[in-house]
Structure 1
Amino acid sequence: MTKKLIILGATGSIGRQTLECVQKANRRVPGSFEVAGLSANRDFEGLMNLAEEYPEALLALGAPPPSAGGAAPLAGSSSSPTNHRDVSRRLSFVGGDAVTKLLDNCDADLVVNGIAGSPGLMASHASLRRGMSLALANKESVVMGYSLLASLAEARKIAIIPVDSEHAALFQLVRRCGAKSIRELCITASGGPFRDRPLADLSTISPAQAAAHPVWKMGRKISIDSATLANKGLELIEAVRLFGFSEKAVRVLIHPESLVHALVRTIDGSLYANLSKPDMRLPIDIALHWPEERESAFGKLDLAGKTMSFFDPDPSRFPMLRLAREALRQGESATIAYNASNEIAVGAFDEGRIRFTDIASVVADTLSADWSFPAGDLDSIFYHDDKARERARAFVAEIQC
């Protein structure tokens, strides 16, 4: 039976790798997947290239395409900002609500949410509201609004399938070991490009250096998050929310080789680990086929000749982990603030306005406010998100270079 997909963030890292998984699956078993919808934020050219490859897919573009005056082309227009396409036949939805309109007007069995940042929450909510299962690569959806999403999924009896390598690994381990027998979850981190850099040098790190991840192929913002371990802080919050464990029961280990993605410790003290090559196509492929299990099209890990090391993160090098735990203890509004202030701080660092080491300072200042407020619906979630961004911007203005 063909599974219909909507791929959000189709021109980004997750989107491109998802389409590669789809192509491989369809070559092995023709008709496994049908791409029903695709979205991009600003990458008009990339989306148009995909339009040629998937002519039946509905398309959504977050920003107006490069046409005269910056406006979206009118239906029936023969003008085209490129030399080889009639845009009006391909762009179904354009603008800030394009993704929501795509989800409201396109039927699918599974939505792959590869949108970067907090805008991904609206897409996750719209997907579940429509009754479509969700393969979730957008961390912010869980960090900002998991209780809301979980209630939607439960009411509609549909699945939220994590796509992050660590949470995909935990998803499999928890399913195999049984949640009742597990006492501790552990997610791993490569440590990023600066795990061995002298602490005194961290303030001089450039955005280009921070965006160059030594192991994973990712987008720019998430690569910077991996350098500060904010990425792991978000994943720590995700693990607590997705699997229902306490903050104290989730551990983070530095594992430079990135072969072990997650571990669980059971009641008898045994450790069970999920190992695979550091390749995002593997967890994506698992999510696409879930609940079925298929032989991987992307090779297997051979442990012969491999060495593995593990150590605890240095809290002075990676304060974003401590701040994530503080946010978790405060509640959902505080985790919203953690994410929002980090997005502002990373943007300011990437623009050269603050130093690498200032990112954690911005987040710490934001979390020092009172976040003991409920966040049970989208309006309240985005209210707290806006307030956190305002405070973070003000602090950036005070400390900027």
Structure 2
Amino acid sequence: MKQIAILGSTGSIGQSTLSIIESFPDRFAVSSLAAGQNLDAAFEQSVRWHPRVVSVATEESAATLAQRLKTAGISDIEVLYGTEGTVRVATLPEVDFVVSAIVGVAGLEATYAAVEAGKAIGLANKEAMVAAGEILTAAARAKNVPLLPIDSEHNAVHQCMRAGTKEEIRRIWLTASGGPFRQLPLSEFEGITVEQALKHPTWVMGRRITIDSATMLNKGLEIIEACRLFNLPPSDVKVSVHPQSTVHSLVEYIDGSILAQISVTDMRLPILYAMSYPERVQSDLTFDMASLGQLNFEPPDFARFPCLRLAYEAAEKGGAHCIALNAADEVAVEAFLERKICFTGIARTIEGVLQATPETHPRTIREVLALDHQAREMAREVLARAGHEAVVPRT
């Protein structure tokens, strides 16, 4: 029985993880949960799963949750808050596997602490690998800890790589749906609305990741994550636009063979794969081959999606540039969602920050977080200098 800790238990990945645990009660059990700001969901999950420890965002929320649990007759769950609480959730001695699914760098310290504690990691938080991948992978190697990707693309690569050795791999291919604007004329990008950008053609995701998919910055972050997870240079990580989102990724071998991973577009499958690794567990997540139909692949348009070009440039430089890419994007996407900048202003903001970012490589998590803070401040300065108005209309 694997004891599972979930960082980000109230988000979509966290909820899918709990669904998997519910489907396989003989294999997995909930040990601890980091629930963030959703107090009602944290209460419901605590009552349903009875974790040993649950952590929420603030001291006030923790006090409220503890009182609600006491009123419900539950007094043996340790309720914590903040970064210290999340670290505690990730490092309990009995925890066997940590699902890292907190969006952004908020879960970075807990993920690193889990690695240092020798816990196997299921990584659904690409921002942690983008910002501190050099540090995380070095620590994982030192502790002999597996970093198992949950993102569907990297999970697919991981599966395909089991067919050969690293020396036999020529390159990997990450697929991208192309988002909602794959065929929109470039001349219309300035007028893209928030509502349009939030309508992803394939996946139902959080607001930031949906916008990142529309700009293809999300795929850029995945390029950096792939470089670090699989120890490959950016030139060996390619992107192919695949609107059907049926082939999740491909691995090309030196003999010319290309292996593709195909499955349903359901995040429970990569979660189950990571939690069960190296086993494969029978499930009902089957793919109907009769529905496969036509498969299209096309190269990405860097003029249409400049964020993808910026990500490749950051990947080549590494270190602070990868941190700045992610941090600037978070600030810019928030500004777009608040209708303070237009859609194309996201890429312009990121580029302005990257141009001002020095080449340096942090050696500690504290240094990573400091650089992240600096990049966010720089992004706000870029936005202030640009003096954008709320140019994105409602529809």
TM-score range, shorter chain: over 0.9
Mapping of 1:250-269 within 5 angstroms? 250-269=237-256
Mapping of 1:211-226 within 5 angstroms? 211-226=198-213
Distance across 2 between alignment mates of 1:91 and 1:48: 13
Do the aligned residues in 2 keep the contact of 1:72 with 1:94 (CA within 8 Å)? no
Mapping of 1:234-273 within 5 angstroms? 234-273=221-260
Partner of 1:177: 164
Distance across 2 between alignment mates of 1:96 and 1:305: 44
Aligned length: 388
Do the aligned residues in 2 keep the contact of 1:62 with 1:97 (CA within 8 Å)? no
Say whether 1:231 aligns with 2:218.
yes
Between the aligned residues of both structures, percent identity stands at 38
Do the aligned residues in 2 keep the contact of 1:7 with 1:113 (CA within 8 Å)? yes
Say which of 375, 378, 385 aligns to 2:362. Answer: 375
Distance across 1 between alignment mates of 2:309 and 2:127: 18
Do the aligned residues in 2 keep the contact of 1:261 with 1:275 (CA within 8 Å)? yes
Do the aligned residues in 1 keep the contact of 2:52 with 2:76 (CA within 8 Å)? no
Structure 1 residues 210 and 83 mapped into 2: Cα distance closer, same or farther (>3 Å)?
Answer: farther
Do the aligned residues in 1 keep the contact of 2:175 with 2:241 (CA within 8 Å)? yes
Say whether 1:53 aligns with 2:54.
no
Do the aligned residues in 2 keep the contact of 1:51 with 1:57 (CA within 8 Å)? no
Letter in 2 for 1:256: P
Mapping of 1:2-401 within 5 angstroms? 2-26=1-25, 31-64=26-59, 72-73=63-64, 80=68, 85=72, 90=77, 92-105=79-92, 107-304=94-291, 306-399=293-386, 400-401=388-389
Distance across 2 between alignment mates of 1:45 and 1:204: 37
Distance across 2 between alignment mates of 1:299 and 1:147: 36
Distance across 2 between alignment mates of 1:334 and 1:234: 12
Distance across 1 between alignment mates of 2:247 and 2:316: 27
Letter in 1 for 2:260: A
Shift of 1:88: 6.7
Distance across 2 between alignment mates of 1:306 and 1:88: 54
Distance across 2 between alignment mates of 1:177 and 1:293: 18
Do the aligned residues in 1 keep the contact of 2:90 with 2:111 (CA within 8 Å)? no
Distance across 2 between alignment mates of 1:88 and 1:396: 48
For structure 1, which segment, 167-176 or 366-375, has the greater mean C-alpha deviation from structure 2 after superposition?
366-375
Secondary structure of the 2:252 match is strand
Letter in 1 for 2:321: A
Distance across 2 between alignment mates of 1:387 and 1:74: 34
Letter in 1 for 2:33: L
Superimposed CA distance per residue, residues 365-385 of structure 1 (whole angstroms, 9 cap, x where no aligned partner): 011024211211112211211
Structure 1 residues 86 and 362 mapped into 2: Cα distance closer, same or farther (>3 Å)?
Answer: farther
Letter in 2 for 1:53: R
Shift of 1:297: 2.8
Structure 1 residues 271 and 386 mapped into 2: Cα distance closer, same or farther (>3 Å)?
Answer: same
Q: TM-score, normalised by structure 2?
A: 0.93
Distance across 2 between alignment mates of 1:351 and 1:89: 41
For structure 1, which segment, 388-397 or 198-207, has the greater mean C-alpha deviation from structure 2 after superposition?
198-207
Distance across 1 between alignment mates of 2:292 and 2:229: 35
Do the aligned residues in 2 keep the contact of 1:73 with 1:88 (CA within 8 Å)? no
Letter in 1 for 2:57: G
Q: Gaps spanning 5+ residues in structure 1: where?
A: none
Distance across 2 between alignment mates of 1:242 and 1:56: 30
For structure 1, which segment, 293-302 or 83-92, has the greater mean C-alpha deviation from structure 2 after superposition?
83-92
Distance across 2 between alignment mates of 1:21 and 1:72: 30
Shift of 1:90: 4.3
Q: TM-score, normalised by structure 1?
A: 0.92
Do the aligned residues in 2 keep the contact of 1:7 with 1:38 (CA within 8 Å)? yes
Shift of 1:317: 1.1
Distance across 1 between alignment mates of 2:164 and 2:131: 28
Do the aligned residues in 1 keep the contact of 2:320 with 2:357 (CA within 8 Å)? no
Do the aligned residues in 2 keep the contact of 1:333 with 1:373 (CA within 8 Å)? yes
Do the aligned residues in 2 keep the contact of 1:113 with 1:138 (CA within 8 Å)? yes
Partner of 2:393: none
Structure 1 residues 91 and 42 mapped into 2: Cα distance closer, same or farther (>3 Å)?
Answer: farther
Superimposed CA distance per residue, residues 17-69 of structure 1 (whole angstroms, 9 cap, x where no aligned partner): 1111111122xxxx211100011110000011111111244111013456xxx
Shift of 1:123: 1.9
Q: Could you say what the CA RMSD is over the residues aligned between the two structures, in angstroms?
A: 2.0
Shift of 1:184: 1.1
